[in-house]
Amino acid sequence: MKAKMRFSLKAGERIFINGAVLTVSQKVTLSLLNEARFLLESHVLQVTDATTPMRQLYFVVQSLLINPQEAGKVMGAFRKLHDALITVATDDGVKDSLRKVGDLVEADRTFEALKLIRTLFEPIEAHPSAPAEAAAVQAA
């Protein structure tokens, strides 16, 4: 059977697969032979780092991937935050990307949604109106 995905982990690194957290004690290469939902530790955003609305959206989508048994509860938070971000976004490109994120999440393509959200960190956080938009999202 051909591996669908291969990655190498260093000693002590973690990987999140289908809601389970795995850690390795020594360098290892893993091959996933079937479809699985996974996230490498380097892509995991800690709650303390979710300091902007876009990073909070990433954290919520990440929660869908890492903790699938809570997806019903988390989807409500996603929709509320997602809708608020679209409402306050002033850049059409960002709005289009956020709509695509919503489509990806609704289609259960959370990993792709996370990749797209990461591309929005810099443009949003560097934008001059970001503090005002962040305040608007917090108030929503």
Extract the tokens encoding 107: 């289609």
pTM of the entire structure? Answer: 0.77
Number of C-beta neighbours around residue 131 at 10 A: 11
Query: For the CA atoms of the chain, what is the radius of gyration?
Result: 16
d(CA 54, CA 37): 22
Res 103 pLDDT > 70: yes
Cβ-based neighbour number of residue 63 at 10 Å: 20
Give the sign of the dihedral formed by CA 66, CA 69, CA 72, CA 74.
negative
Q: Which two tokens stand for residue 93?
A: 């490109």
Residue from 54, 57, 65 nearest 17 by CA: 65
Structure tokens at 13: 């690194």
Residue tagged 């976004």 (tokens): 89
Find the DSSP H helices in the chain. 53-66, 71-88, 92-106, 110-126, 130-139
Instruction: Tell me the per-residue pLDDT of 5-31, one tens digit each, with 9 for 90 and over.
Output: 888 999 999 888 887 888 989 999 988
- pLDDT band with cut points at 50, 70 and 90 for residue 135: very low
117, 54 contact by CB (below 8 A): yes
- pLDDT tens digits along 64-88: 988 888 888 999 999 999 999 999 9
